[in-house]
Amino acid sequence: MYYSSGKWKDLDYRRLKRQVSELFPLSILKRKPISGWTIEVDGKIREIKIGENWDHKKFPVTFRTKVEFEKHTSQSIISLEIWTGGESLVRIDSIPFGEINEHHKFLDVTEFCDGQFHALEIESVPKGLFGTTNYTPSLERAFITAFDEEVLKSVIAFETVANLIESVDDDMKDKIYRIFMDSLGMIDVPSSTEDYASRSLDDEMMIDLMKEWEAPNFTPNMGVNLDLKVREEIINASRHLVESLGKVDGNVPFTIYAMGHSHIDYAWLWPLKETRRKIVRTFTNALRMMDKFPEFKFVQSSSAYYEDFKAREPELFEKIRSYVKDGRWEPIGGSVIEFDANLTSGESLARQFLYGQKFFEKEFGIRCKIGYLPDTFGFTWALPQIMKESGIDYFVTTKLVWSDKNIFPYSWFTWRGLDGSEVVTHLFTATEGYNSPLTPKDLKLGLDFHKEKHSDVPFSVLTFGYGDGGGGPTDDMMYRYKYIESLPGLPKLEVKRFHEVFENYRFKDLPVIDDELYLEFHRGTYTNQSIIKKLNREMENLLYTAEVLSAADYMSGGEYPYELLTDARMALARAQFHDVLPGSSIGEVYKEFGEMLYEQEQKIEKLISETL
């Protein structure tokens, strides 16, 4: 055993993962370099070679080439493996197809493998998902990489179970560990020095180790000529692993309903112009995954995001409309953005839902019934009344688990507002909150959280996908889903629309909270960046005055300035995002939104003076 005295240590789990990480390189069949690149910077185009740097101060930049996607065998997955130095949107034949970033390193392009040449275009920024700058970006690598699909899925099965061993209770660890080691022992991994060295750059844990010491100059693995006997061993071992675990008695009478998701902060460690690029990259990735995985479903809040996406990619927006109709893409929240719920006035909160619900009804023929503010820093006592009047019957959040003094007592409860209005409220959690990577550890945490809160509701929800800076789910998450949904020691996992889950369950006898929902965290955000707070309140007061005067003028025969007032309201709604108004964003954000509000303020002041 890897543990002593019956107690597992972090080192034990690391050893398990180390053994599994050696398998991934064996799934790579072939790497073919992509050449003939050009780069466009500020409208000027030049050739660029692999390894060549580009100016981090000028972005976005666009890389272009033509590439032949050879016809493939039914047992392979063909992917783009390209790193240009930061977040990237990939267009194939001029149509946005997917994204590349630190979590989406391989982009499946198998559907284009027709033996023909295709135009490849990559729009890149020298930024990480959290806004960090790469000061020396380069066209670091560019390959068409072929994976053995069965071997890759087998590796993911072993990775998933290694995480399961780390997650389950002690009485389950021994059983699962023995099955894991028996299955792993069925594989005779090629281990000569030459073989091992050639695979080192694709071994995730070796890459981590190389950061700690001056590693040899390993050459890239251009593909593994895997012996058919070893290939069969890997595939059979994973089958033995899954089948044996299926015989372990460890069913848990609890369900976690999951949907793909990406939390995209409308502005935070990056300005709004970058957010709009993040939206295109993230939504494009979600659409690609819907085409690839029939069981995949995606949930996304904020009408402003859809509006921005429609303005940039109207044809792809129609695909979203189609998937909404099919019940696979779920708008949620009913508001313009995921707003701050403390400094924002009651009227502005009502307008968030008025304009958000109006957009969703116009574009998709639906109104959201679930309010969704996973990252907002506490909630005013007036919110249940406003949500209820806006057609919202349920409310979902995660942030309250961050409180640093008092543990929030419930995972399910009825939240009663000032006027007595009530909404069923759910607090969920995972290893990364609303950014779950969809691992066994996430499910176990959700189950333990449910037990700790002593709730009688037999389910919870979970959103999976990389977020804050966008990105969303990965293909690996959906491959993991097929294994996780029936593993012992975990609750049942099912991808299902949240509205369907909530509407089909009869909630009763929930505990009641008749108060605000105060977050004991982020306290300083309500005094920071006073200028944006001043502009917000000035705009709220000016708009109230302008609307009253304009209504009176309309009653006297004048023309109501609907477009002008709506534009101002929408600018204000965007500025009330939960990282903008509280003051938790970078300086560039406040310059951008300050100028936006000041411009609208001038227009409204002019309207008021002309109406008087």
Residue 331 pairs in a beta bridge with: 300
What is the DSSP code (8-state) at residue 85? S
Q: Which residues are catalytic?
A: 375
In this predicted structure, what is the pLDDT of residue 526? 84
Q: Is the CB of residue 228 less than 8 Å from the CB of residue 431?
A: no
State the pLDDT confidence band at 3, using cuts at 50, 70 and 90: very low
More confident residue, 59 or 523: 59
**Whether residue 329 has pLDDT greater than 90:** yes
The 10s digit of each residue's pLDDT in 400-420 is 999 999 999 999 999 999 999
In this predicted structure, what is the pLDDT of residue 211? 60
Mean pLDDT confidence for 216-234: 85
**Whether residue 554 has pLDDT greater than 60:** yes
**Whether residue 373 has pLDDT greater than 90:** yes
Give the CA distances from residue 50 to residues 67, 109, 128, 297, 578, in Å, rounded to whole numbers and listed in that order: 15, 21, 20, 37, 41
Please calculate the CA angle 433-435-441 and round it to the nearest 5 degrees.
65
CA atoms of 319 and 312, how far apart (whole Å) = 14
> Where do the DSSP E strands lie in 309-378?
329-332, 370-372
The 10s digit of each residue's pLDDT in 471-503 is 899 999 999 999 998 799 999 999 999 999 999
Three-class DSSP category at 564: helix
In this predicted structure, what is the pLDDT of residue 288? 98
- Which has the closest alpha carbon to 340: 268, 418, 278, 416? 268
State the pLDDT confidence band at 2, using cuts at 50, 70 and 90: very low
Mean pLDDT confidence for 150-168: 95
In this predicted structure, what is the pLDDT of residue 4? 42
Mean pLDDT confidence for 197-211: 66
In this predicted structure, what is the pLDDT of residue 9? 65
- Range from 47-61, 185-199, 290-304, 358-372 carrying the lowest mean pLDDT: 185-199
**Whether residue 318 has pLDDT greater than 80:** yes
What is the DSSP code (8-state) at residue 121? E
CA atoms of 219 and 229, how far apart (whole Å) = 26
Cβ neighbours of 301 (radius 10 Å): 27
Q: Is the CB of residue 471 less than 8 Å from the CB of residue 103?
A: yes
**Whether residue 575 has pLDDT greater than 60:** yes
The 10s digit of each residue's pLDDT in 489-546 is 999 999 999 999 999 999 999 999 999 999 999 888 888 999 999 999 999 999 999 9
Q: Which domains does the chain have, with CATH numbers?
A: 10-25+151-248 (no CATH), 38-138 (2.60.120.260), 254-521 (3.20.110.10), 524-611 (1.20.1270.50)
What single-letter amino acid sits at 520?
E
In this predicted structure, what is the pLDDT of residue 259? 98
Quote the tokens at residue 190. 């090629």
CA atoms of 191 and 168, how far apart (whole Å) = 32
In this predicted structure, what is the pLDDT of residue 6? 52
In this predicted structure, what is the pLDDT of residue 76? 94
In this predicted structure, what is the pLDDT of residue 71? 87
Quote the tokens at residue 571. 């600018």
The length of the chain, given as a count of residues: 612
Kindly give, in sequence order, each residue whose CB lies less than 8 Å from that of residue 162, ignoring residues fewer than 6 positions away: 13, 16, 17, 20, 180
Please calculate the CA angle 591-595-597 and round it to the nearest 5 degrees.
120
Identify the helix (H) or strand (E) that includes residue 258: strand 252-260
In this predicted structure, what is the pLDDT of residue 189? 83
In this predicted structure, what is the pLDDT of residue 107? 98
In this predicted structure, what is the pLDDT of residue 73? 75
The 10s digit of each residue's pLDDT in 254-269 is 999 999 999 999 999 9
Q: Is the CB of residue 152 less than 8 Å from the CB of residue 476?
A: no
Q: Is the CB of residue 607 less than 8 Å from the CB of residue 561?
A: yes
Q: How many helices (H) and strands (E) does the chain have?
A: 17, 20
CA atoms of 466 and 430, how far apart (whole Å) = 13
